[in-house]
Amino acid sequence: MALGIYLSGLAEVRPKRHRCYEKNKRGKEDINMNRAWWKEAVIYQIYPRSFMDSNGDGIGDLKGITSRLDYLKYLGIDVVWMSPVYKSPNDDNGYDISDYQEIMEEFGTMEDFDELLSAAHERGIRIVMDLVVNHTSDEHRWFVESRKSKENKYRDYYIWREGKGENTPPNNWGSCFGGPAWEYDQETGMYYLHLFSKKQPDLNWDNEKVRREVFDMMTWWCEKGIDGFRMDVISMISKTKEMPDGEINGLYGSFDPYCVHGPNVHRYLQEMNREVLSKYDIMTVGETAGVTTELAKQYAGEDTGELNMVFQFEHVSDPGKYGKWTDERMPLTELKKIMSHWQTELYGKAWNSLFWDNHDQPRAVSRFGDDRPQYRELSAKMLATCLHMMQGTPYIYQGEELGMTNYPFSSPDEFRDIESIHAYEEWCESGLVSHEEFWPCIVSRSRDNARTPMQWDDTNEAGFTTGKPWIAVNLNYKEINAKTETEDPESVFHYYRKLIALRKEHPVIVYGNYELLLADSEELFVYTRTLEEKKLLVVCNFTDSEVPFSIPEAFVGADCLIANRVERGGEAESRYDEAETVLGPYEAFVLMTV
């Protein structure tokens, strides 16, 4: 199918259920022009619990999402990825699933889901599901059976080991959410492995029956007509048989070398691809903590038959003061090095996914930009420019398009997230670090920053609910909300609309080759993109100061595609006609040669 048909006919024509890359035979320059709809799409992530509440119980739900599809259509995104909506006791907000083929009661019913899916498709929006199959909930019927006896037919669905001795787990591994990664189970006197909370037992992927169950369940969703999967911690599904103590990292030993990118992970993903993915025209993105570019080429290589793309985390994994907890910023040179490495290493070989934040990360503008009132909008637009002009598929996390900020937490009882609650206990209440020392670190990194309700308007609870929200609304909702933003043509929201539209208009933004300029600058992030004779120059000032800059000769007098200071009564675009220029705080602009 030609690309043009896809672009013009998306709303009317449902994509065919088979793979249809158009191989491009044009020339050397566009080595990467192995076109696919998911390479040209912009994806919007919804955290359903916090997006829109339709019935006043304070919890976002599926009907709420359906009611806001027109907003997303207006923004211009192509795909919605929803964090898990399956049945769950919510130990980890839905990442602990007790039934993969039922909807969480608080979110609605399967009818609500079907309605959402068809309403989205009517608008040309595809729906990507979160697939959480490294672990289930301990309330999943497989685990309920598994723990009953050593002979139970589901016993081997999970990872059971004998303790080393009285009250001693099989090894020293710590879980991602604090405490040991093993839980003793009275019933059979053995331990089960849980890399996350003890209510999230790890599935045993070495058991063929487990793989069959997972593939059947995925097929069931594909047959329903969903458009893809985001695969939760998929890099952790294969564990080594031997499970020795890990190197001590904080209070516990690290399981990384034994559980991350384990011995059979590629074999299992290739099997999944053969059995399920290859049969449908869907997209896949793997959440692969700890991934390097070399590994990404395996997980998501053009020809490896595994996934379409992966999320890498190098740019959001600053070495923390206390585990992941820190209030420090990554130096810009380091950030550029990481981003550029991914841009150049994957080019023509695998596909990048681009994100500044998600439901596990603090808000982008607070972390990488400047959320003080005078700079919030400017720096949010600058960050958007920097990311959306890169090569790869951009992901927008709900509220990012409004420039939503971190929450000013003032006390630990404001946290709702299992990770933040446990981290505070483990580091502070235990006496390891003082509250004064730890507080700024956890406040700047808590996952709850991203999970405060979407700010729709300036009415009570930001229009998210008519009841009491499950987590507090950010205090700044009167200034920052979708209503104000959509009404103001120069808002962050409209800037995102423009960036999304530009990506659809200029193939160089999707497929162009990337080159970093001024690698040593701690102030400016500057790069070019090239596709045949088209060339883009992207210039972003990451500081609150003025920074002089010389526009490279080839771009002097070139067209300005977008700029964040041209607006709000700033100078005219012609300011980019002279080679010597001075960038204002957080200024960003993009020039394109004809």
Site for Ca ion, rule CB under 5 A: 53, 55, 57, 59, 61
Cβ-based neighbours of 285, under 8 Å, separated by 6 or more: 81, 128, 228, 229, 230, 231, 307, 308, 309, 310, 311, 353, 393
Q: Which of residues 226-265 bind ligand TEU (CB under 6 A)?
A: 232-233
In the bound state with Ca ion, the residue whose beta carbon lies nearer, of 40 and 53, is 53
Among candidate residues 543, 544, 552, the one with its CA nearest the CA of residue 518: 552
Contact criterion met (CB below 8 Å) for 339 and 392: no
Task: Calculate the alpha carbon distances from 381 to 105, 287, 301, 321, 385 in Å.
Answer: 38, 26, 31, 29, 6
Kindly state the helix (H) or strand (E) to which residue 336 belongs, with its residue range. helix 332-346
139 is written with which tokens?
Answer: 């309330």
Contact criterion met (CB below 8 Å) for 234 and 289: no
In the bound state with ligand TEU, the residue whose beta carbon lies nearer, of 33 and 176, is 176
Tokens 């002979």 belong to residue: 151
CA separation for the pair 182, 30 (Å, rounded): 50
CB of 555 to ligand TEU, least distance (A): 38
Q: What three-state secondary structure class fits 50? A: helix
Binding mask 273-312 for ligand TEU (x = CB under 6 A): --------------x-x-----------------------
53 binds, among Ca ion, ligand TEU, none (CB under 5 to 8 A by kind): Ca ion
Residue type, 108: G
Binding mask 407-426 for ligand TEU (x = CB under 6 A): ------------x-------
CB of 312 to ligand TEU, least distance (A): 12
Question: Is 417 annotated as catalytic?
Answer: no
Contact criterion met (CB below 8 Å) for 122 and 114: no
Closest residue to Ca ion, Cβ-based? 61
Cβ-based neighbours of 54, under 8 Å, separated by 6 or more: 61, 63, 64, 67
Closest residue to ligand TEU, Cβ-based? 95
CB of 232 to ligand TEU, least distance (A): 5
461 binds, among ligand TEU, Ca ion, none (CB under 5 to 8 A by kind): none
Backbone angles phi, psi at 100, to 5 degrees: -75, -15
CB of 514 to ligand TEU, least distance (A): 26
In the bound state with Ca ion, the residue whose beta carbon lies nearer, of 205 and 470, is 470
Is 272 buried (19+), middle (13-18) or exposed (0-12) by CB count in 10 A?
Answer: buried
Report if residue 314 touches ligand TEU, rule: CB under 6 A.
Answer: no
Backbone angles phi, psi at 180, to 5 degrees: -70, 160
In the bound state with Ca ion, the residue whose beta carbon lies nearer, of 454 and 539, is 454
Given the DSSP bridges, would you call strands 99-103 and 513-517 parallel, antiparallel or unpaired?
A: unpaired
Contact residue for ligand TEU among 63, 324, 337, 422 (CB under 6 A): 324
Q: Which of residues 442-471 bind ligand TEU (CB under 6 A)?
A: 447
Q: Which of 78, 183, 232, 523 is catalytic?
A: 232
CA separation for the pair 101, 211 (Å, rounded): 16
57 binds, among ligand TEU, Ca ion, none (CB under 5 to 8 A by kind): Ca ion
Contact residue for ligand TEU among 117, 176, 234, 382 (CB under 6 A): 176
In the bound state with ligand TEU, the residue whose beta carbon lies nearer, of 359 and 565, is 359
Contact criterion met (CB below 8 Å) for 237 and 155: no
CB of 527 to ligand TEU, least distance (A): 27
Question: Is 242 annotated as catalytic?
Answer: no
Contact residue for ligand TEU among 132, 231, 269, 473 (CB under 6 A): 132
Contact residue for ligand TEU among 158, 196, 407, 427 (CB under 6 A): 196
Q: Which of residues 355-384 bind ligand TEU (CB under 6 A)?
A: 359-360
Q: What three-state secondary structure class fits 102? A: strand
Given the DSSP bridges, would you call strands 588-592 and 534-541 parallel, antiparallel or unpaired?
A: antiparallel
Tokens 């609309």 belong to residue: 497
**What's the distance, CA 357 to chain centroid?**
6
Q: Which of 61, 281, 287, 523 is catalytic?
A: 287
Contact residue for ligand TEU among 38, 95, 395, 427 (CB under 6 A): 95
CB of 107 to Ca ion, least distance (A): 8
Among candidate residues 514, 534, 538, 542, the one with its CA nearest the CA of residue 526: 538
Q: With CB under 6 A, what is the number of residues at the site for ligand TEU?
A: 14
Can you give the C-alpha Rg of the chain in angstroms? 24
CB of 106 to Ca ion, least distance (A): 6
In the bound state with Ca ion, the residue whose beta carbon lies nearer, of 65 and 510, is 65
CA separation for the pair 107, 98 (Å, rounded): 14
Kindly state the helix (H) or strand (E) to which residue 293 belongs, with its residue range. helix 293-299
Cβ-based neighbours of 429, under 8 Å, separated by 6 or more: none
CB of 466 to Ca ion, least distance (A): 10
CB of 374 to ligand TEU, least distance (A): 31
Q: Which residues belong to the active site?
A: 232, 287
* Site residues, ligand TEU (CB under 6 A): 92, 95, 132, 176, 196, 232-233, 287, 289, 324, 359-360, 419, 447
